C-alpha cells in the first residue's frame, strides 16, 4: 500500500489545457517574434431617418410605429388643449379645428455618391379610423388655419416634406404636422382615441 | 584433496554465470539514435525549450507537462546471460544530475515513461535521483529479454533570475538484479543531453467579441463584416458607437505573449498598421485598453519601434492581455464614397529584453 502511494506522487502532473487556441507564432534562440492580423470589412451605403421632438408635442420611439406623437384630447371647436409646448398650437375654422405641432426630421446618409438628398416625402399609410379626423401638414411655421394642407394618402403621390430645404446628412429639418377635426362629420363618442400612421421616405440619388 | 577440488569447481561455475549477466541500452528505430556503447550509452534529444516550440530533433517525442516540456525518446533495454530461471528487476536513478537539476525546484528533470503510449503526458514520471530508492523500470524480466522504454529530460518553463540556456546532461544508471539470485547484477548507463534555448511565442485569440481566426495570407484574421459610417450595419455583431464624424465598430480580443528561459520576466508588445486600408479616408484602425467609446486612438502606421502603438511595456509570459480593436468608419458622401471590401494588416511584435 505504501508503495502505491509513492508511485502516485511520482506521476508528473499533466498540463491543464492547451495554452492557445489559434496557432501561435514562435521563435527559438531569439528574443522577438512578430505576428500579423488582417482586418477586413465591407463598406456599405446607409441611410437613416429620425423624427424627434421640436418644441411642441413629444415625439417618442415606438407607440405603434417607429415613432409616435400624441395630440391628446382634441375637438372641432378648438376648446380642448391638445398637447402642450411652444411649438404646438391650434387654429379653428368653421366647425373645424387643427391641432398641430412642430417636430424635427433628420435625414442621414453615408457612402452615397451625392452630398445632398433628393427627396423626402410622406403619406398617410394608415388613416384614422374615426371619420372627421385627418392629417395635415406644412413645411414652414403656420400662422393660420389655411397654412395647412392635407397630407397625401397615396403612396404613389406622396406629399413633399423636403420643400425648399436642402437635404444634408445629419441636418435636422423642422416640419409641422396636425390633426384636423371636422365637426360637420359624425364623430365617434367623446373620449375615444384614434390613430393614423404617416410613412416618411428619404431617397438619396 | 579430492574434496577440495570439487569445491573449487563449484565456485568457478557460479562466478562464470554472474559475469555473463548483462544489461545494455540500444537504439529503437522510432527514437533517437543512441551513441556510446551498450553499457554506457548516450542520448542527445537536441535543442529544447520551456514552451515546446520550434522543431524537435528526429526521433524525439515532445510532451507537454504541467511544469514544462519533456523531450524524450524511446530506446531498448536488453538483458542477456542471466540464466534460464532469472526474474530480473531493472531499476534506474539519476546518478549524475543535470547542471540545473538540483535544489528544491529543479529546472531540469530526468523523466521516464513505462506505458505503451508515451505521447500521453500522464504516463511520464520523474526519475529518482536516489541510488537507495531508484525508480522501478521492469520486474520479472526473463533472460534474453529486450524491452522498450522511454527516457528524456524535462525543461522547466521558467523566466527571471533562474533562467538559463545551454547544454545540460544527466546520466541515468540502470541496475538489474535477478531476484532469484540476488548475487546476479549488472549495470548500464545512459547519458541524456539537451541544449536549452530561449523561446518566444505570440498569438491572438478571440475574447468575448468577434472571432479571431487563422488568416490566409496573415497569421490571424478579424472580419468586421459589413460596416457603414452611420453604424446601421451590424459589423458582424461588433460593439457600435456613433459620432458626428462616423461610426466605430469595436471588439475585444486577446493578446497572448509567452516566452521561456528569459532573464526578464516581462516583455514589450507593440503594434502598427503595416498595410493600411485602400480607403484611408473612410476606414481607420483604432486601439483601446478599455473599450470605452472615448478611449480609442488611431493605431500607429509607423514601423519604427519607438513610434508603434504600445500595448504593454510589462507583458508577463502566459498572461493574456484583453485589448480592443476599433474600426472607425467615417461618414463620407460624394466623390470619396466607396462601397465594397477593404482590408488592412496590423503587425504585432513581442520583444523580451
Instruction: Give me the residue label for grid cell 514544462.
Output: B68
Query: pTM for this structure?
Result: 0.85
Helix (H/G/I), strand (E/B), else coil: B201: strand
d(CA B228, CA A47): 10
For residue A189, what pLDDT is reported? Answer: 56
Classify residue B2: in a domain, yes or no.
Answer: no
pLDDT tens profile A40-55: 999 999 999 999 999 9
Residue A80 has pLDDT above 50, yes or no: yes
Residue B5 has pLDDT above 70, yes or no: no
B245 lies in the same domain as B189: no
Distance between A111 CA and the closest CA of chain B, angstroms: 4
pLDDT confidence bin for A16, thresholds 50/70/90: very low
ipTM: 0.88
**Listed residue (B142, B244, B155, B162) closest to B199, CA to CA:** B155
For residue A130, what pLDDT is reported? Answer: 86
pLDDT tens profile B149-171: 999 999 999 999 999 999 999 99
Look at residues B179, B197, B215 and tell me which one is the last residue of a structural domain: B197
C-alpha A91: how far from its chain's center?
28
Residue B12 has pLDDT above 70, yes or no: no
Classify residue B4: in a domain, yes or no.
Answer: no
Percent of chain A's residues with pLDDT above 70: 86
B67 lies in the same domain as B171: yes
Spell out which residues of chain B touch residue A30, defining contact as CB-CB under 8 Å.
198, 200
Interface list for A 69-128 with B (CB within 8 A): 108-115
- The CA-atom distances, in angstroms, between B219 and each of A38, B202, B236, B346 are 8, 10, 21, 10
B267 lies in the same domain as B160: no
Averaged pLDDT for residues B298-322: 97
Residue B69 has pLDDT above 50, yes or no: yes
Q: Judge whether B220 and B204 are in contact, CB under 8 Å.
A: yes
**Listed residue (B64, B168, B191, B83) closest to B124, CA to CA:** B64
Classify residue B10: in a domain, yes or no.
Answer: no
Cell, residue B58? 528526429
B215 lies in the same domain as B188: no
B26 lies in the same domain as B83: yes
Residue A191: how many other CB atoms lie within 10 Å: 6
Q: Judge whether B347 and A34 are in contact, CB under 8 Å.
A: yes
Partner residues linked to B309 by β-bridges: B271
Burial of A192 (0-12, 13-18, 19+ CB in 10 A): exposed
Spell out which residues of chain A touch residue B117, defining contact as CB-CB under 8 Å.
none
Q: For the sheet containing A197-203, what is the strand order?
A: A159-160, A119-126, A197-203
Cell, residue A71? 395630440
- The CA-atom distances, in angstroms, between B102 and each of B99, B109, B161 are 7, 9, 16
B157 lies in the same domain as B259: no
Spell out which residues of chain A touch residue B93, defining contact as CB-CB under 8 Å.
none
Strands, E assignment, chain A: 25-28, 32-43, 46-53, 59-61, 67-69, 88-93, 96-110, 119-126, 133-138, 149-150, 159-160, 173-182, 197-203
Distance between B183 CA and the closest CA of chain A, angstroms: 24
Half-sphere exposure of B79 (CA within 13 A, CB side): 29
B192 lies in the same domain as B267: no
Partner residues linked to A110 by β-bridges: A46
Nearest neighbour of B202 by CB, restricted to A24, A109, A114: A24
pLDDT confidence bin for A187, thresholds 50/70/90: low
For residue A154, what pLDDT is reported? Answer: 97
Classify residue B97: in a domain, yes or no.
Answer: yes
Bigger pLDDT: B200 or A85?
Answer: B200
Residue A189 touches chain B, beta carbons under 8 Å = no
Averaged pLDDT for residues B265-269: 98
d(CA B14, CA B24): 22
Classify residue B6: in a domain, yes or no.
Answer: no
d(CA B329, CA B286): 11
Classify residue B3: in a domain, yes or no.
Answer: no
Distance between A107 CA and the closest CA of chain B, angstroms: 11
B23 lies in the same domain as B130: yes
For residue A127, what pLDDT is reported? Answer: 96
d(CA B325, CA B286): 6
Look at residues B136, B167, B197 and tell me which one is the last residue of a structural domain: B197
- Whichever domain contains B277, its CATH number is 2.60.40
Residue B338 has pLDDT above 90, yes or no: yes
Look at residues B197, B219, B236 and tell me which one is the last residue of a structural domain: B197
Residue A64: how many other CB atoms lie within 10 Å: 10
For residue A118, what pLDDT is reported? Answer: 82
Classify residue B12: in a domain, yes or no.
Answer: no
Mutate to test the interface with B, among A111, A116, A118, A205 (most CBs of B within 10 A): A111
B308 lies in the same domain as B184: no
For residue A183, what pLDDT is reported? Answer: 87
Residue A11 has pLDDT above 50, yes or no: no
For residue A185, what pLDDT is reported? Answer: 61
Query: How many residues in chain A?
Result: 205
User: Where in the sequence is the domain holding B283, given as residue range(s)?
Assistant: 200-351
Residue B348 has pLDDT above 80, yes or no: yes
Distance between B177 CA and the closest CA of chain A, angstroms: 19
- The CA-atom distances, in angstroms, between A173 and each of A121, A150, A204, B185 are 13, 19, 16, 102
Residue B265 has pLDDT above 60, yes or no: yes
Residue A4 has pLDDT above 50, yes or no: no
With CA atoms as reference, the chain B residue closest to A112 would be B333
Nearest neighbour of A111 by CB, restricted to B67, B206, B337: B337
Mean predicted lDDT score pLDDT of chain B = 94
Residue A13 touches chain B, beta carbons under 8 Å = yes
Helices (H) and strands (E) in chain A, counts: 1, 13
For residue B56, what pLDDT is reported? Answer: 95
pLDDT confidence bin for B8, thresholds 50/70/90: very low
**Listed residue (B38, B9, B14, B13) closest to B26, CA to CA:** B38
Domain ranges of chain A: 46-203
d(CA B95, CA B90): 15
Averaged pLDDT for residues B195-210: 97
Q: What residues contact residue B73 under an 8 Å CB cut-off, 6+ apart?
A: B28, B31, B32, B43, B45, B59, B60, B61, B150, B151, B152
For residue A186, what pLDDT is reported? Answer: 62
For residue A191, what pLDDT is reported? Answer: 67
Residue B11 has pLDDT above 70, yes or no: no
For residue B167, what pLDDT is reported? Answer: 98
Distance between B120 CA and the closest CA of chain A, angstroms: 9
**Listed residue (B228, B95, B320) closest to A44, CA to CA:** B228
- The count of structural domains within chain B is 2
Mutate to test the interface with A, among B230, B248, B320, B353 (most CBs of A within 10 A): B230
Inter-chain CB proximity B205 and A20 less than 8 Å: yes
B65 lies in the same domain as B28: yes
Would you report the helix, strand and coil content of chain B in percent, each value rounded to 5? 10, 55, 40
For residue B9, what pLDDT is reported? Answer: 37
Amino acid at each position: 500500500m505504501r508503495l502505491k502511494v509513492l508511485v502516485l506522487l511520482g506521476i508528473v502532473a499533466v498540463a491543464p489545457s492547451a495554452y492557445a487556441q489559434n496557432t501561435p507564432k514562435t521563435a527559438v534562440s531569439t528574443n522577438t517574434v512578430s505576428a500579423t492580423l488582417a482586418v477586413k470589412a465591407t463598406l456599405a451605403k446607409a441611410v437613416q431617418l429620425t423624427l424627434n421632438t421640436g418644441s411642441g408635442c413629444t415625439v417618442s420611439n415606438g407607440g405603434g410605429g417607429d415613432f409616435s406623437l400624441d395630440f391628446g384630447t382634441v375637438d372641432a371647436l378648438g376648446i380642448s388643449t391638445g398637447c402642450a409646448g411652444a411649438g404646438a398650437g391650434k387654429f379653428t375654422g368653421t366647425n373645424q379645428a387643427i391641432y398641430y405641432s412642430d417636430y424635427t426630421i433628420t435625414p442621414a446618409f453615408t457612402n452615397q455618391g451625392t452630398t445632398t438628398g433628393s427627396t423626402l416625402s410622406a403619406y398617410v399609410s394608415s388613416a384614422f379610423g374615426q371619420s372627421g379626423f385627418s392629417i395635415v401638414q406644412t413645411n414652414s411655421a403656420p400662422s393660420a388655419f389655411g397654412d395647412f394642407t392635407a397630407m397625401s394618402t397615396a403612396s404613389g403621390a406622396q406629399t413633399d416634406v423636403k420643400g425648399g430645404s436642402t437635404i444634408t446628412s445629419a441636418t435636422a429639418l423642422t416640419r409641422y404636422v396636425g390633426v384636423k377635426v371636422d365637426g360637420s362629420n359624425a364623430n365617434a363618442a367623446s373620449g375615444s382615441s384614434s390613430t393614423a400612421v404617416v410613412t416618411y421616405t428619404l431617397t438619396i440619388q | 584433496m579430492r574434496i577440495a577440488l570439487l569445491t573449487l569447481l563449484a565456485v568457478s561455475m557460479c562466478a562464470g554465470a554472474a559475469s555473463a549477466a548483462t544489461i545494455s541500452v540500444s537504439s529503437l528505430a522510432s527514437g533517437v539514435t543512441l551513441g556510446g556503447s551498450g553499457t554506457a550509452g548516450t542520448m542527445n534529444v537536441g535543442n529544447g525549450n520551456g514552451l515546446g516550440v520550434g522543431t524537435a530533433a528526429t526521433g524525439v517525442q515532445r510532451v507537454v507537462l504541467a511544469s514544462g516540456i519533456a523531450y524524450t525518446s524511446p530506446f531498448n533495454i536488453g538483458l542477456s546471460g542471466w540464466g534460464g530461471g532469472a526474474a530480473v528487476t531493472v531499476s534506474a536513478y539519476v546518478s549524475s544530475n543535470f547542471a540545473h537539476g538540483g535544489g528544491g525546484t529543479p529546472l531540469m528533470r530526468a523523466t521516464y515513461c513505462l506505458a505503451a503510449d508515451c505521447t500521453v503526458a500522464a504516463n511520464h514520471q520523474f526519475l529518482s535521483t536516489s541510488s537507495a530508492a531508484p525508480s522501478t523500470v521492469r520486474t520479472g524480466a526473463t533472460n534474453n529479454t529486450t524491452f522498450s522504454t522511454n527516457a528524456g529530460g524535462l525543461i522547466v518553463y521558467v523566466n527571471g533570475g533562474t533562467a538559463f540556456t545551454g547544454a545540460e546532461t544527466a546520466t541515468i544508471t540502470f541496475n538489474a538484479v535477478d531476484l532469484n539470485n540476488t548475487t546476479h547484477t549488472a549495470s548500464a548507463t545512459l547519458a541524456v543531453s539537451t541544449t536549452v534555448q530561449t523561446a518566444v511565442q505570440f498569438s491572438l485569440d478571440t475574447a468575448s467579441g468577434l472571432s479571431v481566426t487563422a488568416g490566409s495570407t496573415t497569421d490571424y484574421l478579424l472580419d468586421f463584416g459589413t460596416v457603414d459610417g452611420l453604424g446601421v450595419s451590424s459589423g458582424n455583431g461588433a460593439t457600435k458607437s456613433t459620432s458626428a464624424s462616423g461610426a466605430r465598430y469595436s471588439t475585444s480580443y486577446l493578446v497572448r505573449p509567452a516566452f521561456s528561459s528569459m532573464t526578464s520576466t516581462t516583455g514589450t508588445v507593440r503594434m502598427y498598421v503595416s498595410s493600411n486600408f485602400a480607403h484611408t479616408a473612410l476606414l481607420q484602425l483604432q486601439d483601446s485598453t478599455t473599450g470605452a467609446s472615448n478611449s480609442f486612438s488611431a493605431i500607429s502606421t509607423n514601423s519604427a519601434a519607438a513610434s508603434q502603438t504600445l500595448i504593454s511595456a510589462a507583458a508577463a509570459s502566459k498572461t493574456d492581455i484583453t485589448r480592443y480593436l476599433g474600426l472607425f468608419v467615417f461618414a463620407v458622401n460624394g466623390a470619396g464614397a466607396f462601397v465594397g471590401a477593404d482590408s488592412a494588416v496590423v503587425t504585432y511584435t513581442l520583444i523580451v529584453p
